[in-house]
Structure 1
Amino acid sequence: LKLVRNMRAHSDPWFAEYLLRIGDGKEVTNRDGEVRLPDEICVSRTGKDTDLDTLIDNTFPSLDANTSGPDYITSRAILSTRNDSVDRINLKMISRFQGDEMVYHSFDCAVDDPHNYYPPEFLNTLTPNGLPPHVLKLKINCPVILLRNIDPANGLCNGTRLVVRGFQRNVIDAEIVLGQHAGKRIFLPRIPLCPSDDEICTI
């Protein structure tokens, strides 16, 4: 789960058509080329700490009553342009789900670092593109997205959307919620992850 600022994601057909008109350059603009967002997809911003809660309440109304339904979770999203905002929103969203929290930690190491110039304590503070955070907090019924191709033939590929159904120490029990494999229960083991060459951090 990466706020076009104060904008809610909609699954209604009119919203898809609206986005297509913008993409095709057919939506009405002002003299500066700016597009007015419809009031029904905007959430007022006050500058207070409660703005994020307001955005979540508008994007995920009645969350407690709908967490078990995969259609509810997968038909809406909060988008953001920055990873630090994503992490803050994810933590806030996880706290909204009922039940106990499961915390997974990564085991970070640097390749070709024989002198240990980059200790794990430092590596744990980094979140390169394509890698999950060092501390991953999950709850039952929360959505997750797969970041690697594990078993494409069975629906486990980069971008697959799932909902968490259970936990083990090194395994996540999840259900695929979109595509031809929707409804399939799978187990996600702890696996090694490494950013691709075009995603490598410069330290």
Structure 2
Amino acid sequence: MSYLTEHTNLSACNDDVSSINTRALEMMLGKEIGYLTANILSKEDSDDRTITNRYPTEYINSLDPPGLPPFKLMLKVGCPLMLLRNITLEDGLCNETRLMVVRCATRLTEAMILTGKKARNFVFIPRISLSPTSGELSFTMTRRQFPLH
């Protein structure tokens, strides 16, 4: 566990992070569990046929905007994670908190906090609705997923 709290992989883009995470996950023992997101366009965009025709569901699912978890989040018990959003600051669940998966369930993930004042505390991470913070997309979407990477 000390290795997970003392080392960080710095990367310039999401593709590099995904590649590193995939290789690390493959090396870990245990069953891999995949969680798919639910992506939703805003009401205005979903009513606009020019947008829905131009951006089919498959395309939206392939997007990996900064600050959002991937469409298919792969987890294993024991794998390290980083929290992508503030959930409850008083419980130590803030953006960039390092965690380790303890248990994977359908609607939540149980994790142990690895760093900070709340290190070694066990927490539950629910699926939440997230929207990209940058304006790089020409439409507005919401992704429902565990806020983890």
TM (norm. structure 2) is 0.83
Residue in 2 that maps onto 1:162: 99
Q: Partners in 1 of 2:41 and 2:62 — Cα distance?
A: 13
Residue in 1 that maps onto 2:135: 200
Q: Does 1:107 align with 2:44?
A: no
Residue in 2 that maps onto 1:86: 17
Query: Larger C-alpha radius of gyration, 1 or 2?
Result: 1
Q: Which has the higher contact order (CA 8 A, sep 6+)?
A: 2
Q: Specify which structure has the higher proportion of strand.
A: 2
Residue in 2 that maps onto 1:125: 62
4+ runs of 1 displaced by more than 2 Å?
115-120, 200-203
Percent sequence identity is 39
Task: Please report how far the alpha carbon of residue 82 of structure 1 lies from its aligned counterpart in structure 2 after TM superposition.
Answer: 2.2
Write the deviation string for residues 1-56 of structure 1: whole angstroms up to 9, x where unpaired: xxxxxxxxxxxxxxxxxxxxxxxxxxxxxxxxxxxxxxxxxxxxxxxxxxxxxxxx
Q: Partners in 1 of 2:85 and 2:17 — Cα distance?
A: 19
* Amino acid of the structure 2 residue aligned with 1:94: L
* Amino acid of the structure 1 residue aligned with 2:60: L
* Amino acid of the structure 2 residue aligned with 1:86: V
- CA RMSD, aligned part only? 1.3
* Amino acid of the structure 2 residue aligned with 1:136: L
Unaligned ranges ≥5, structure 2: 139-149
**1:123 alignment partner, SS class:** helix
Residue in 1 that maps onto 2:28: 97
TM (norm. structure 1) is 0.62
Task: Please report how far the alpha carbon of residue 79 of structure 1 lies from its aligned counterpart in structure 2 after TM superposition.
Answer: 2.1
